[in-house]
Structure 1
Amino acid sequence: MAAASPPNDIAVIGAGIVGLACAFHLQAAGRSVVLVERGGIAEGASFGNAGAFAFTDILPLASPGILRKAPRWLLDPLGPLAIPPAYALNIAPWLLRFWRASLPDRYAHSLKVQSAMMRLAARAMSEMVAGAGLTEHVRADGNLQLYESEAELDAARPGWDAREKEGIAFEHVRGYRLAELQPGLAPRFVAGTFTPNWKTVADPYHFALALFEQVMARGARIVSGEVVAIEPQTAGVSLRLTDGTTINSAQAVIAGGAWSRPLAATLGDKVPLETERGYNTTLPPGAFDVRRQLTFGGHGFVVTPLSTGIRVGGAVELGGLKAPPNYKRSQAMLTKAAAFLPGLKTTGGTQWMGFRPSLPDSLPVIGRASADPRIIHAFGHGHLGLTQSAATGRLVAELATGRPLSLDLSPFRPDRF
């Protein structure tokens, strides 16, 4: 067996955007950090996401509305929601919990919790961006949600009413104002809703790498390898990697995204984490004059202008970690985007598929492991990993140092299921 590494204050498992934000905040709290990453830095969901700080996206995915849409969506194997037949039995327990979370009283609870989390996320991200010198990576162009009929807008109004109660600014637009916000839309889109305080990053991968550089400059170490066991010890915890290497630390954080579930289970926390496989195509810069992120909610995808090109992607495929990518899903969204944005140049794009770690109630797991309070869970953010990364980092640092918490963590506890 390989020799044990020198002890560290805290080991963070996962160097995606959530793990990096945890490392940044732990360092700010005076802790030394070692990052342990099974793949490349920020090469999971942090690499190819839509790049949004979606602080206004307070509506849980598990909702009465999604239950009404799901049967129609599931009829289209390339539509906004798909479950490969071979995975249907595996996903059934998760879907049952998702249905329960969509009931009106539970939905209302999750919406309230998500709203509080988003308020913290906005503050914490602003502070992390400033503290890490990442301001040049952030854009404040807003988001434009698009509707093909007045009936579609009317169906969305309860969600906007909920946002209004939370003080979120938005503007329903039509005609000249709609064309001003995004020229060149297909005439099928008759209305939109503009959220001016929505922000995006120039490129999510570059944003994460810049944060990684800051964390490393502040003294972090990086270890490449997959953690297969976390063993509580008298003086701390020991992480065992596939090659036999051990990493000793006083505390540990599990921020491994879609790969976190097995580690949590070894610590007594059977978290129903599932994998939303998200797809996109990034077209070359100049493929279309996209002024801001566009959301085609009725079709389950967005179009985002990045410094590296135009990204067309989204949708949900509940298919686990092992099945090969089905890039027909990327192509289906690209075909729709070409119809919605006449003149969009669809050649020269790069396709991608990534794994979003998702829980049935649309809330992440943030809290201490059942087996040992020195181990902290921080995963399961679904579509909101980038958005909620700084808030999660702050909360993890507060847990690790025993400081007062910025948010009540009982709704995020690992044993809530």
Structure 2
Amino acid sequence: MKRDTIIIGAGVVGLMCAYHLHKAGRKVTIIDEGDITDCTSFGNAGLLSAFDKGCLAYPGVISTTMKQMLKGESPVNIHPKLDPKLFTWLFKFAASANEKRFKRTVMLFEKYGEDTLKLYEKMQKEDNLDFDYHRKGMLSVFTEDATYEKKLKECESKDKKTYKILSKEETKEYLPCGNEKIKGSILFTRNAHFDPKRVMLETKEFLEKEGVEFILNEKIIDIKFSNKKVKSVSSLTNTYEAENFILSTGYQTLLADIRKKSLMMTPAKGYSITFSMPNELKPKTSTLFSDLFIVMTPRRDSVRLTSKLELGSTDTKVVKEQIDSIKSNFEKYTLPFEMKDIKEWTGFRPLTPNDIPLFGRDEEYKNLVYAMGMGWLGMTFAPSIGKIVRKIITKDLENKNSDDVLLFSGFYQ
């Protein structure tokens, strides 16, 4: 049986591509090697961080990271190995960390981030989905005087409606568990947060009820081409044909490698700790410990900490030393409390060297579309990317005719 559109990969990007294509009247099939209960999207912080958070490749990131390493507070670990692709990625990352690119990236983040928030709000209103969504801003907490002063200076050129500098007392109201070591805080008003698990499960349930086909626990390992099109994809036991194919496989590049398409991204291993804590100490909104690269997000029944990036690691297990490091850095700046019902998680994020996602139509095989490389910003941009992919397929657009692809895809940067 030949299907309309097959999406390979059921992370948040795959689900959002399916959502938008279904809304456009397309018959969609999603194939995933898992059962959509604990993929990388589930471990996301839940902070929709398109505004005032910056990106990984920012000016001065190399020197800042080195200083953090000396203090034992670095969020990044690089495992040395003889991998030319990783060395190339690191070189391109260093080259991307300049002022010109940083400014451009921030503008793109804000453009597509605002679009994403409106789409999430629309999904909840029109389809009655419960994402535990709150647009209460992001509290940015500083533990170093120098970075706090630098951020205050940057704010002088911003619209005063987009931020509020908080006093020590106001900071305590937003972050009751913070201690006296915190140097200062700024509430950036445009950001939002939600519960990634609810987003994934609610969206999946909605799509299933709407008739989207899910083929789960089936790993696609081969892709066949004929007459400048993808003819089929195959698992060990089945072959699937379709009019259109979307690759949304996260950090896994097997199918792109078979097609001989080089995707400049690396798997970045990240960690999260989800727990319950006394309600009187919970933060009022998602909180970024800016100097520690730790995000603390309140949820309906729990709180989540996310941090750490390991490059060059292939270990799929939770490394205790990394969890202990997150806790140790966090506890330096918070009051003592007991974390209960702790769940530790780790997973790999598809990280590009310039923070820009990889999406658009394949230049040679016209019925193949990519939707990958969103790194730690999958939740922040997935609905926007899904909407763009829908437009590419339903309007049969080439990349050169899609302003969004030319603006925001790493294929053209």
1:209 aligned residue (193, 201, 210): 201
1:103 aligned residue (93, 98, 102): 98
Alpha-carbon distance, 1:152 to partner: 2.2
The match for 2:331 is 338
User: Within 2, Cα distance between the matches of 1:168 and 1:364?
Assistant: 29
TM-score, L = length of structure 2: 0.90
Distance 1:35 1:316, change over 3 A: same
The match for 1:61 is 56
Residue 326 of structure 1 pairs with residue 303 of structure 2:
no
User: Within 2, Cα distance between the matches of 1:88 and 1:172?
Assistant: 45
Residue by residue over 1:107-127, the C-alpha shift from the partner in whole angstroms, topping out at 9 and shown as x without a partner, is 333233333222322333322
Residue 52 of structure 1 pairs with residue 47 of structure 2:
yes
2:87 aligned residue (92, 114, 131): 92
Residue 317 of structure 1 pairs with residue 310 of structure 2:
yes
Retained in 2: the 8 A contact 1:14–1:254? yes
User: Within 2, Cα distance between the matches of 1:370 and 1:235?
Assistant: 10
Residue by residue over 1:328-385, the C-alpha shift from the partner in whole angstroms, topping out at 9 and shown as x without a partner, is 1112112232332213213541111011111011010110113312111101111110
Retained in 1: the 8 A contact 2:229–2:366? no
Retained in 2: the 8 A contact 1:175–1:191? yes
The match for 1:349 is 342
Alpha-carbon distance, 1:230 to partner: 2.5
The match for 2:404 is 408
2:390 aligned residue (380, 384, 397): 397
User: Within 1, Cα distance between the matches of 2:183 and 2:73?
Assistant: 25
Retained in 2: the 8 A contact 1:272–1:360? yes
Retained in 2: the 8 A contact 1:366–1:413? yes
After superposition, residues 4-403 of structure 1 pair within 5 angstroms as 6-41=1-36, 43-57=38-52, 59-75=54-70, 79-86=74-81, 91-135=86-130, 137-157=132-152, 160=155, 164=158, 169-201=162-194, 203-224=195-216, 225-233=218-226, 237-259=230-252, 261-286=253-278, 288-322=281-315, 324-402=317-395
User: Within 2, Cα distance between the matches of 1:283 and 1:297?
Assistant: 21
Aligned AA (1:70):
T
Residue by residue over 1:36-93, the C-alpha shift from the partner in whole angstroms, topping out at 9 and shown as x without a partner, is 1011215222111111222315623111131231222345777311112347765211
User: Within 2, Cα distance between the matches of 1:302 and 1:87?
Assistant: 32
Distance 1:227 1:234, change over 3 A: same
Moved more, 174-183 or 18-27: 174-183
Alpha-carbon distance, 1:402 to partner: 1.1
Alpha-carbon distance, 1:270 to partner: 0.6
Aligned AA (1:246):
T
User: Within 1, Cα distance between the matches of 2:187 and 2:262?
Assistant: 40
User: Within 2, Cα distance between the matches of 1:175 and 1:65?
Assistant: 28
Alpha-carbon distance, 1:305 to partner: 1.3
Distance 1:400 1:271, change over 3 A: same
User: Within 2, Cα distance between the matches of 1:157 and 1:356?
Assistant: 31
Moved more, 233-242 or 361-370: 233-242
User: Within 2, Cα distance between the matches of 1:254 and 1:57?
Assistant: 30
SS in 2 for 1:349: strand
TM-score, L = length of structure 1: 0.89
SS in 1 for 2:242: strand
Retained in 1: the 8 A contact 2:288–2:295? yes
Distance 1:316 1:136, change over 3 A: closer
User: Within 1, Cα distance between the matches of 2:173 and 2:212?
Assistant: 46
User: Within 2, Cα distance between the matches of 1:223 and 1:161?
Assistant: 52
Distance 1:121 1:107, change over 3 A: same
Distance 1:232 1:74, change over 3 A: farther
Distance 1:36 1:243, change over 3 A: same
Alpha-carbon distance, 1:208 to partner: 0.7
Moved more, 40-49 or 25-34: 40-49
Aligned AA (1:228):
I
Aligned AA (1:307):
R
User: Within 1, Cα distance between the matches of 2:117 and 2:4?
Assistant: 28
The match for 1:3 is none
Alpha-carbon distance, 1:296 to partner: 0.8
Alignment root-mean-square deviation, CA: 2.6
User: Within 2, Cα distance between the matches of 1:270 and 1:390?
Assistant: 25
Alpha-carbon distance, 1:96 to partner: 0.4
User: Within 1, Cα distance between the matches of 2:53 and 2:305?
Assistant: 22
Retained in 2: the 8 A contact 1:395–1:407? no
Distance 1:89 1:325, change over 3 A: farther
Moved more, 359-368 or 39-48: 39-48
Structure 1 residues without counterparts, runs of 5 or longer: 1-5
Distance 1:359 1:273, change over 3 A: same
SS in 2 for 1:19: helix
Aligned AA (1:111):
V
User: Within 1, Cα distance between the matches of 2:276 and 2:80?
Assistant: 34
Aligned AA (2:405):
L
Retained in 2: the 8 A contact 1:11–1:36? yes
Alpha-carbon distance, 1:151 to partner: 2.4
Distance 1:244 1:61, change over 3 A: same
Alpha-carbon distance, 1:414 to partner: 5.6
